[in-house]
C-alpha cells in the first residue's frame, strides 16, 4: 500500500541534503499565533527543518481545553513549506482527534461496547470529514492498548480487555479515519497507538513500567495492532513505557523485528510526546545529547515534539553512530505515506460545511448502541413518559463531562444538551410528562421532588477529570455522596434507575442494591444525554455489552474473563472455587465481560457444528467449520442481541485461557421472530502464538461456547485430528 510510492519517494530523496532529510523526521510543536512566532516557524519551514506539525500546546493535551485549529494559519504554513521549502514537500498536521472533532462520539471504550464495527466505521468517517475540513490531516488515534486495570485513566481511550474485540474495533476505526482511499479529501491518516504494552502500566499508574512476557505480548497485546496493520493503518506511535526493562522507544525488537518483520507494517513510526528524551530517565541514554541515535537505530522514524532528531542526528551521522541509510529509510517511509495520502496534489484544507445534523444523529445512534443495561429488576424500565419524573445527581446539569477526556474541539453549550435538557425534551415536551429537577445533591428540594415523583432518574457517574492521561485513580467506586443518594432514593420506594456516566467500568457494588435498574451511559459524547433519556423512557432498546469486566471491589483488579487456567480450583470468574480467591469477598465479577440485557428476552437453541472433527491439514489449507445457533426474541418488542462465540483449547503445549472471544454478531430480531446466526471458524481462531511469535495450531479437542456473554455455558466440542 505504501511501498508502491517508493520510486517517487526515492526521486525526491535523491535531491535532499542530510539536513533536509532530518527535517522530514521532525515533528514540531505548533507555533503561537503572534506574527513573530509564525515568522520564526516559517523560516524553519523554508530551511526544510520540519516534516510535520503537532496541533497541540502541551504534553497532556487531552486534559486541556485547547483552542480549535485555525485553518488559515495551517494553510499559510503549508504554503510556506510547499512553495518556499526546499522540495515542495507538504506538511502533516497531526492532532489528537480521538473520538470526535466538533461532534463528539462516545469514548472509544464505549464504542467497543456497541459490538458494532460497521457503525463505528460509519461514525469515524464523519469525524475524519469534520477534522480534515479544518486542516488536520493526521490523527493520533485509534488507541488500542488492551487494559485489565480500570484504575488506569487511559482505559477510556481503548477497547477494553479483549484482544479480539479490540482488533475488530481498531480495524473499524482505522477504516473510518482513512476511508477506502487515503487520497479521499474526507480521509485522514490514522495512527495505531500506543505501541506497545502501555495498557499494562503497573498498578494502573500512568507512565509506569510494564512487566510482560513474550507470550502475553504475542497473544494479547499485539492482537489489535495486527488488525490495524491489516486494515492499512499508515502510522504507529511508540509508547512511553518499557516492557520488562526494555523501553519501546529504543527497542529494535519491538519497533523493527516484530512490527515490521512479523506484522508487516509499511508505514512510519512516530514517538510519543518527548519519549525520545525520556530515554535519559529510563537509563538508556547517558545525557541530553545521547538520545536520538538509540531511537532511530531501533526503527523510530519521526520524533514528536522534543526536537532531538533535529538537533543531534546530523552529528550522529557524521560520527558514524547512525548511518545515512538509516535516515534515508525513515525519510522514504514518511514520503511514501505523504504520497499515498495525495498530499502533493491535494495540499490545502478547504473548509466545507459538513452535514452536522447527520453527524449528530450518528453520534446519538453510537451513544445509544453503546449503552449497557446491567440491571432491570421487575422490568421497571422503560419508564413511561407520562409521569412525574425526578432527576437528580451530579450529571443533572453536566455538559463537559459527557464528552469525556480527549475531546479537544467538541462543541459545548446548546450543542451538548445535559440531562435536564434531554429530560425536558423527551419526557415533558414529547411525552407530556413532568420533570422535577434539583441540583446534584441531596437537600430539602430533593426530598420534596423525591416524594412527589412517580419515577426517579439518578444521573450518576465519575468526572471526566478522573479519566484520561495522567489521571488514574486508586478506587473506582462511585463517590460516598452518590451512594447516599441511591440509599435515599430507595427509601422512597419509587422505581429508580441509576444512569452512570463513566469512563471506566466503575465499581457498582455499593449502589447496586439500592437501584432497580442500572444503565451504563459512559462519557457518551455530544448526544449522551438524549441517548440515555430515550433509552430510559423506551425509545431505544439497550443493546450494548460490557467490553470489560465490572469488578465487585477495586481490590479484585485485575479480573478479566480470558484468564489462563490454574493448577487448582480457583477460577472464581466462572464460579469455580470463588471463595478460594479472597476470604473477605466473592471473587466473581459483578458483571462479566460481554454482559448486558435488553427490554426484550432472547432464547438460544443448542448450538450445532457442521463437523465434529476436522483434519489439521485441511484447517491449515484454509478450510474450516461452521457453528450455528438459533436465537429467538421471546419478549414483547424488537431488540438487538450480541451473539458471542468463545473457544477454549484445554490441552495444549502451553496453558491457554479458559475462554477467548473469537466471533460475535449483533443481530436485530423482531418480536416473536427467530434468527439463525452462523459463524465460520478457521485456523485463525484455533491457534496461538508461541513466545517467539510463531503461530501454532495443536491437535486435540476444542471447547466452543456460544451465548449472550462470556460465562454462559452452552458448549460443543470439535476435534482437530
User: In the bound complex, what is the minimum distance in angstroms from residue 60's beta carbon to ligand BGC?
Assistant: 6
b/e map 189-214, b = 16+ CB within 10 Å: bbbbbbbbbbbbbeebebebbbebeb
Contact at 8 Å (CB) between 568 and 528?
Answer: no
For residue 538, count other CB atoms closer than 10 A to its CB: 16
Q: Under rule CB under 6 A, which residues in 507-526 are in contact with ligand BGC? A: none
Who's near 45: CB < 8 A, 6+ residues apart? Answer: 77, 80, 81, 84, 85, 91
6, 38, 47, 59: residue in contact with ligand BGC (rule CB under 6 A): 59
Instruction: Out of 129, 242, 272, 641, point to the residue binding ligand BGC (CB under 6 A).
Output: 272
259 or 533: CB nearest ligand BGC: 259
CA-angle at 297, arms to 293 and 301, nearest 5°: 95
Q: How far is the CB of 140 from ligand BGC (least distance, A)?
A: 3
Choose, by CB under 6 A, the member of 115, 254, 268, 273 that binds ligand BGC: 273
H helices of 33-162, where?
A: 35-46, 71-79, 108-113, 117-132
438 in contact with ligand BGC (CB under 6 A): no
The number of residues that bind ligand BGC (CB under 6 A) is: 10
Containing H/E element for 517?
strand 517-520
β-strand partners of 491: none
CA-to-CA distance for 457 and 280, rounded, in angstroms?
A: 52
Contact 31, 45 (CB under 8 A): no
Closest to ligand BGC by CB, 20 or 272: 272
- Does residue number 96 form part of the binding site for ligand BGC (CB under 6 A)? yes
For 358-382, letters b (16+ CB in 10 Å) and e give ebbebbbbbbbbbbbbbbbeeebbb
Q: State the nearest-atom distance from the C-beta of 30 to ligand BGC, in Å.
A: 11
Q: Which of positions 181-200 make contact with ligand BGC (CB under 6 A)?
A: 193
CA distance 606 to 323: 62
CB 604 within 8 A of CB 706: yes
The binding track of 101-140 with respect to ligand BGC, each residue x by CB under 6 A or -, is: ---------------------------------------x
* Cβ 98 to ligand BGC shortest distance, Å: 8
Output the smallest distance, CB 101 to ligand BGC, in A: 15
Cell of 670: 423482531
Binding mask 377-416 for ligand BGC (x = CB under 6 A): ----------------------------------------
Q: In whole angstroms, how close is the CB of 210 to ligand BGC at the nearest point?
A: 14
Cβ 117 to ligand BGC shortest distance, Å = 22
Cell of residue 369, nine digits: 448502541
Q: Which is nearer to ligand BGC, 153 or 394 (CB)?
A: 153
Q: How far apart are the first and last CA of the chain?
A: 38
Query: Is residue 61 within the footprint of ligand BGC (CB under 6 A)?
Result: yes
- Which pairs count as long-range contacts for 608-613, CB under 8 Å and 24+ apart, including other chains? 608/716, 609/704, 609/716, 609/718, 611/718, 612/717, 612/718, 612/719, 613/718, 613/719, 613/720, 613/721
The single residue among 10, 18, 46, 60 that binds ligand BGC, judged by CB under 6 A, is 60
H or E element that contains 365: helix 356-370
CB closest to ligand BGC, residue no: 140
Nearer to ligand BGC, 176 or 639 (CB): 176
66 binds ligand BGC (CB under 6 A): no
Find the DSSP H helices in 522-652.
528-536, 578-581, 616-620
Q: Is 210 in the site for ligand BGC (CB under 6 A)?
A: no
The 320-359 site mask, x for binding ligand BGC (CB under 6 A), equals ----------------------------------------
Q: Find the shortest distance in angstroms from Cβ 107 to ligand BGC.
A: 14
Beta bridge partners of 666: 642
Residue 272 Cβ, how far from ligand BGC at the closest point, in Å?
A: 5
Q: Out of 24, 26, 56, 405, name the contact with ligand BGC by CB under 6 A.
A: 56
Between 59 and 71, CB nearer to ligand BGC: 59
User: Does residue 469 interact with ligand BGC by CB under 6 A?
Assistant: yes
Contact call for residue 27 and ligand BGC (CB under 6 A) = no
Task: Return residues touching ligand BGC (CB under 6 A).
Answer: 56, 59-61, 96, 140, 193, 272-273, 469
Amino acid at each position: 500500500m505504501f511501498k508502491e510510492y517508493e520510486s517517487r519517494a526515492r526521486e525526491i530523496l535523491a535531491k535532499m541534503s542530510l539536513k533536509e532529510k532530518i527535517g522530514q523526521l521532525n515533528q514540531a510543536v505548533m507555533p503561537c499565533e503572534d506574527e513573530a512566532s509564525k515568522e520564526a516557524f516559517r523560516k524553519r519551514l523554508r530551511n526544510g527543518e520540519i516534516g510535520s506539525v503537532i496541533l497541540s500546546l502541551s504534553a497532556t493535551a487531552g486534559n486541556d481545553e485547547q483552542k480549535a485549529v485555525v485553518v488559515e494559519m495551517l494553510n499559510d504554513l503549508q504554503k510556506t513549506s510547499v512553495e518556499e521549502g526546499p522540495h515542495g514537500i507538504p506538511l502533516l498536521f497531526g492532532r489528537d482527534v480521538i473520538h470526535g472533532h466538533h461532534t463528539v462520539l462516545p469514548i472509544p471504550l464505549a464504542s467497543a461496547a456497541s459490538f458494532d464495527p460497521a457503525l463505528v466505521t460509519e461514525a469515524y468517517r464523519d469525524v475524519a470529514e469534520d477534522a480534515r475540513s479544518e486542516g488536520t490531516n493526521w490523527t493520533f488515534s485509534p488507541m488500542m492498548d488492551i487494559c485489565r486495570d480500570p484504575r488506569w485513566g487511559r482505559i477510556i481511550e481503548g477497547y477494553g480487555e479483549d484482544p479480539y474485540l479490540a482488533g475488530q474495533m481498531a480495524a473499524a476505526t482505522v477504516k473510518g479515519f482513512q476511508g477506502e482511499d487515503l487520497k479521499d479529501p474526507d480521509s485522514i491518516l490514522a495512527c495505531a497507538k500506543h505501541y506497545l504494552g502501555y495498557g499494562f502500566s503497573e498498578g494502573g499508574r500512568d507512565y509506569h513500567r510494564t512487566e510482560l512476557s513474550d507470550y502475553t505480548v504475542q497473544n494479547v497485546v499485539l492482537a489489535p495492532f495486527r488488525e490495524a496493520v491489516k486494515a492499512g493503518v499508515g502510522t504507529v506511535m511508540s509508547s512511553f513505557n518499557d516492557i520488562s526493562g526494555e523501553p519501546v522507544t529504543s527497542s529494535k525488537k519491538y519497533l523493527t523485528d516484530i512490527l515490521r518483520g512479523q506484522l508487516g507494517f509499511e508505514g512510519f513510526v512516530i514517538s510519543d510526546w518527548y519519549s525520545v528524551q525520556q530515554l535519559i530517565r529510563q537509563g538508556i541514554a547517558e545525557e541530553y545529547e545521547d538520545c536520538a541515535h538509540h531511537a532511530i537505530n531501533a526503527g523510530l522514524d519521526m520524533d514528536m515534539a522534543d526536537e532531538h532528531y533535529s538537533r543531534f542526528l546530523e552529528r550522529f551521522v557524521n560520527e558514524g553512530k547512525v548511518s545515512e541509510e538509516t535516515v534515508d529509510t525513515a525519510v522514504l517511509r514518511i514520503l511514501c505515506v505523504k504520497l499515498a495520502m495525495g498530499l502533493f496534489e491535494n495540499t490545502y484544507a478547504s473548509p466545507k460545511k459538513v452535514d452536522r445534523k447527520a453527524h449528530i444523529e450518528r453520534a446519538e445512534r453510537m451513544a445509544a448502541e453503546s449503552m449497557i443495561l446491567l440491571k432491570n429488576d421487575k422490568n421497571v424500565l422503560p419508564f413511561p413518559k407520562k409521569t412525574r419524573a425526578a432527576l437528580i445527581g451530579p450529571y443533572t446539569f453536566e455538559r463537559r463531562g459527557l464528552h469525556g477526556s480527549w475531546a479537544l474541539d467538541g462543541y459545548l453549550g446548546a450543542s451538548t444538551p445535559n440531562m435536564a435538557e434531554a429530560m425536558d425534551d423527551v419526557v415533558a415536551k414529547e411525552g407530556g410528562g413532568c420533570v422535577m429537577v434539583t441540583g446534584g445533591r441531596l437537600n430539602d428540594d430533593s426530598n420534596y421532588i423525591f416524594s412527589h415523583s412517580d419515577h426517579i432518574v439518578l444521573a450518576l457517574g465519575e468526572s471526566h477529570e478522573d479519566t484520561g492521561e495522567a489521571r488514574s485513580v486508586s478506587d473506582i467506586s462511585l463517590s460516598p455522596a452518590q451512594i447516599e443518594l441511591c440509599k435515599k432514593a430507595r427509601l422512597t420506594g419509587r422505581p429508580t434507575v441509576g444512569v452512570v456516566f463513566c469512563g471506566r467500568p466503575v465499581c457498582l457494588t455499593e449502589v447496586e442494591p439500592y437501584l432497580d435498574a442500572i444503565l451504563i451511559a459512559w462519557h457518551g459524547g455530544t448526544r449522551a444525554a438524549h441517548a440515555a433519556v430515550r433509552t430510559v423512557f423506551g425509545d431505544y432498546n439497550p443493546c450494548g455489552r460490557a467490553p470489560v469486566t465490572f469488578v465487585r471491589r477495586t481490590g479484585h483488579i485485575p479480573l478479566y474473563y480470558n484468564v489462563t487456567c490454574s493448577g487448582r480450583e480457583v477460577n472464581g470468574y466462572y464460579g469455580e472455587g470463588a471463595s478460594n480467591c479472597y476470604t473477605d469477598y466473592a471473587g466473581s465479577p459483578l458483571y462479566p465481560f460481554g454482559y448486558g440485557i435488553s427490554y426484550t428476552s432472547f432464547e438460544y437453541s443448542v448450538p450445532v457444528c457442521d463437523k465434529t472433527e476436522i483434519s489439521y491439514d485441511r484447517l491449515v489449507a484454509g478450510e474450516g467449520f461452521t457453528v450455528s445457533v438459533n436465537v429467538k426474541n421471546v419478549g414483547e418488542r424488537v431488540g438487538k442481541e450480541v451473539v458471542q462465540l468463545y473457544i477454549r483449547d484445554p490441552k495444549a503445549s502451553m496453558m491457554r485461557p479458559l475462554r477467548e472471544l473469537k466471533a460475535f454478531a449483533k443481530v436485530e430480531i423482531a418480536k416473536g421472530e427467530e434468527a439463525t446466526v452462523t459463524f465460520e471458524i478457521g485456523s485463525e481462531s484455533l491457534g496461538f502464538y508461541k513466545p517467539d511469535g510463531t503461530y501454532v495450531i495443536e491437535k486435540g479437542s476444542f471447547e466452543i461456547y456460544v451465548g449472550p456473554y462470556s460465562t454462559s455455558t452452552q458448549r460443543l466440542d470439535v476435534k482437530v485430528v
